[in-house]
Amino acid sequence: MSYEDVKREALRLAGDEQLELAYSLIRNVGADEDEEQEIDRLWVEEAERRYQGYLDGKLEAVSGEEAIRRIRAARR
C-alpha cells in the first residue's frame, strides 16, 4: 500500500478516528521513553491547570457531546 493509498483511506475516517490515528503516529515517530515521559508529565500539568481553572470559575465545563459538536462545527 502506497503513502497516497494510506492517506486516502485515513481521510475517509471519521474526525475523531483521524485524530486518534494522528496522535498514534506522532507518538510513534522517533519518541524515546524519556520524551514520552516528558510529554505525559506536560499533559498532566495541563490537565491540572485546566481543572484548577474550572474550580476557580475561569473555565466552563461542557459535556463530551457538546465538546465534539463544537469541534465539528469549527472544522466546517
Question: Is the distance from CB of 37 to CB of 44 less than 8 angstroms?
Answer: no
Residue 74: its pLDDT value, please? 92
Average pLDDT over residues 12-20: 91
Higher pLDDT, 44 or 26: 44
Query: Which set of grid coordinates corresponds to residue 30?
Result: 522517533
Residues 6 or more apart whose Cβ sits within 8 Å of residue 11 = 18
Give CA–CA dist 2/14, Å, rounded.
Answer: 21
Average pLDDT over residues 26-34: 75
Residue 30: its pLDDT value, please? 66
Residue 31: its pLDDT value, please? 63
Average pLDDT over residues 45-68: 94
The answer on pLDDT for 10 being more than 80 is yes
Helix (H) or strand (E) holding 56: none
Residues above pLDDT 90, as percent of the chain: 64
Residue 47: its pLDDT value, please? 95
